[in-house]
Amino acid sequence: DKISGTLSISNKAATCKSTVRGISGTTTKIVITQTLQKKNGSSWTKYGSWTKTFNSWYAIYSNSKESLSNGTYRVKTVAKVYKGSAYETVTAYSKTVSC
């Protein structure tokens, strides 16, 4: 399974995009949880979170968050990739972006 996340910030507004590619004919469902995180010292705190189910082997999920405060952000993508009732969990982080 291939998973990626990207983050862009313009005028204090974040655009989060997650892409998950399973296996055509094998993957039956993808559940994506996308979290915008802000750096807080040496840790990361949740700034927004979204979840959506895709009944497909391929999924693209985009969300936006406005009125960001100054700081450094990233997008965490966690996907449950199903084959019937069984699934595996995959995780990806975007590059960091500051505003």
Query: pLDDT tens digits for the chain (99 residues)?
Result: 699 999 999 999 999 999 999 999 999 999 999 999 999 999 999 999 999 999 999 999 999 999 999 999 999 999 999 999 999 999 999 999 999
The fourth-level CATH superfamily of domain 2-98 is Immunoglobulins (2.60.40.10)
Q: What integer pLDDT is reported at residue 56 of this predicted model? A: 97
How many other C-beta atoms are found inside a 10 Å radius of the C-beta of residue 67?
8
Render the burial of 34-66: b for 16+ CB within 10 Å, e for the rest: bbbbbeeeeebeebbebeeebeebebebebebe
Q: What is the pLDDT of residue 75?
A: 98
Domain positions in the chain: 2-98
Find all residues with CB under 8 Å of 43, minimum gap 6, and list them: none
Model pTM above 0.85: yes
pLDDT of residue 39: 98
CB 79 within 8 A of CB 31: yes
Distance CA 80, CA 4 (A): 13
